[in-house]
Structure 1
């Protein structure tokens, strides 16, 4: 899994930061890309990456503020001209369907692929045999959500020495044994997968939080995730502004990461009032609360390990 940040600013675009969007690339796992938020000019940002719009099959909107959705109609329209014919599923709060359909209708836009709307509420909103996505409501004046993506654990690696003890030679039989709980060999021997594989490989877990004030119950919900992506609209010195505008400070996010014992914190949705030197100073202060963390930039890429 790889994360590409397409827009890391808050409210309005700046010369250095576009408004909110990020891509979760799962090309090796399932040949798909999932988009989280789609602020204005997201499609322009995508053109500066290797992401192919036709690979984007699911779009998750955290909330309906313009800096998170105004790029969506344009992206959906352009996708029709970029070999995008597969269905796109749109997950988001109430109002998403009306916004998209009204915009497409009034602009005379016709898509050459189906849109499927998936209104969300708290709990599991998508699940298949490999992955699960859950949503949790946040606090931001209008309905705003966090999304948690959880891969299923993978079966551990085959142990050649144990297979050799059972008389199993390397070959296609290895794949059969890996894919079945019990395999009967030609000589009648039963091979139970659990006896010839190592420990399961834990699936990746990522939490992506929309705009929000601190939420007490969020720590339990994101507990132990590999990566927490959280807004950091303000630095701690501007705590009152964060309260006034229903946002979080970077320090709020760091305290959440510490309490939830996450592995890595990526700070996103950053006000354009802060220059890079201020963010570097803030990062140094935050590391006394939680580490590792980083303020992300547009086109920052992060591999989830």
Structure 2
């Protein structure tokens, strides 16, 4: 489970950064990814990544500013041509339905897979047997959502020695037990999964915030998260600019992570005023002085959310 950053720039693309988009790659067993925001050029970024459009399951839009949205019609259209046939749901704030209706209507675009556009309110927006996704309102110039993705606890690891002692060879039975399913053996014995599994593995939590000034909901979304993805449009000497335009500084993002008790912070959504190299190093240093376990999320950068440990970049 990790995050693949497709675009980390603020406002408009530059020669080194595209506008906002990131992919949450889920468990290997699930084999899919969820896209968060889809700025212009996102599908081009995907072509230079290991991600396949056909494997995208959900798209979560944080808000309707163009640098987070203008790539969505092209992505959805191209997904048909890239072999995407499985259903896809787009979640977003009020207005996302009208936007897609106009884009597809005027361009007469049709897709070959079931597509659902779902306008959401704060609260639980998705839940299945593996994950629960909650949205909360942030503080920006227009209505903006942040998302908290919680992986539910998973069955513990198989006790292989115990299975070998019972004379059970590796095979489909192992897979069923690992999923927590009881199995009837050929000799008629009912083998309870709980008897051959270790302690349940705690699920991981990721908070992915849209554009925002520091606010209480940012802390709530990031509470004890294994990873917080937070914008850092400016350094703190531009705090007045950040406040005026509804953004955060690197220092403020670090303060949110510290207050929330997050384990790791990944900064993104950087102003084009900050060039690769020394200026970005200064931005990182500013955040690390408050919250040491901070990394910069650059183009095609991956941050892993490891099981039972802090993620590594």
TM-score, normalised relative to structure 2 = 0.89
- The equivalent residue for 2:147 is 147
**How far did residue 174 of structure 1 move?**
4.7
SS of equivalent to 2:157: coil
Once the two structures are overlaid, the 10-residue window that deviates more, 189-198 or 118-127, is 189-198
- The equivalent residue for 1:219 is 219
SS of equivalent to 2:22: strand
Residues 1:78 and 1:186: Cα distance change in structure 2 (over 3 Å): closer
- The equivalent residue for 2:40 is 40
Unaligned regions of 5+ residues in structure 2, if any? 307-313
- The equivalent residue for 1:88 is 88
Matches within 5 A, 1:44-59: 44-59=44-59
- The equivalent residue for 2:309 is none
Q: Which string of whole-angstrom CA distances, capped at 9 and with x for unpartnered residues, describes residues 134-183 of structure 1?
A: 1111011211001111111111113345567xx62333555554445766
How many residue pairs get matched? 303
Once the two structures are overlaid, the 10-residue window that deviates more, 236-245 or 286-295, is 286-295
Residues 1:188 and 1:3: Cα distance change in structure 2 (over 3 Å): same
- Structure 2 residue 106 is the aligned partner of structure 1 residue 106: yes
CA contact (8 A) 2:209 2:218 kept: no
SS of equivalent to 2:29: helix
- Matches of 1:27 and 1:52 in 2, distance apart? 15
- Structure 2 residue 5 is the aligned partner of structure 1 residue 5: yes
**How far did residue 27 of structure 1 move?**
6.1
- The equivalent residue for 1:284 is 285
CA contact (8 A) 2:14 2:272 kept: yes
- Matches of 2:144 and 2:135 in 1, distance apart? 10
**How far did residue 108 of structure 1 move?**
2.1
Residues 1:295 and 1:130: Cα distance change in structure 2 (over 3 Å): same
Residues 1:138 and 1:184: Cα distance change in structure 2 (over 3 Å): same
Unaligned regions of 5+ residues in structure 1, if any? none
- Matches of 1:100 and 1:5 in 2, distance apart? 24
Q: Which string of whole-angstrom CA distances, capped at 9 and with x for unpartnered residues, describes residues 179-199 of structure 1?
A: 457667677876554444322
CA contact (8 A) 2:155 2:180 kept: no
- Matches of 1:207 and 1:60 in 2, distance apart? 13
- The equivalent residue for 2:119 is 119
Residues 1:252 and 1:186: Cα distance change in structure 2 (over 3 Å): same
SS of equivalent to 1:94: coil
SS of equivalent to 2:208: strand
SS of equivalent to 1:243: helix
Once the two structures are overlaid, the 10-residue window that deviates more, 178-187 or 192-201, is 178-187
**How far did residue 221 of structure 1 move?**
3.0
- Matches of 1:269 and 1:61 in 2, distance apart? 15
Residues 1:4 and 1:161: Cα distance change in structure 2 (over 3 Å): closer
RMSD, matched Cα: 2.1
- The equivalent residue for 1:170 is 168
Q: Which string of whole-angstrom CA distances, capped at 9 and with x for unpartnered residues, describes residues 55-96 of structure 1?
A: 112111000001000111111122222112222201000110
CA contact (8 A) 2:147 2:221 kept: no
Residues 1:287 and 1:186: Cα distance change in structure 2 (over 3 Å): same
- Matches of 1:159 and 1:49 in 2, distance apart? 37
TM-score, normalised relative to structure 1 = 0.92
- Matches of 1:214 and 1:63 in 2, distance apart? 17
SS of equivalent to 1:116: strand
- The equivalent residue for 1:134 is 134
**How far did residue 249 of structure 1 move?**
0.8
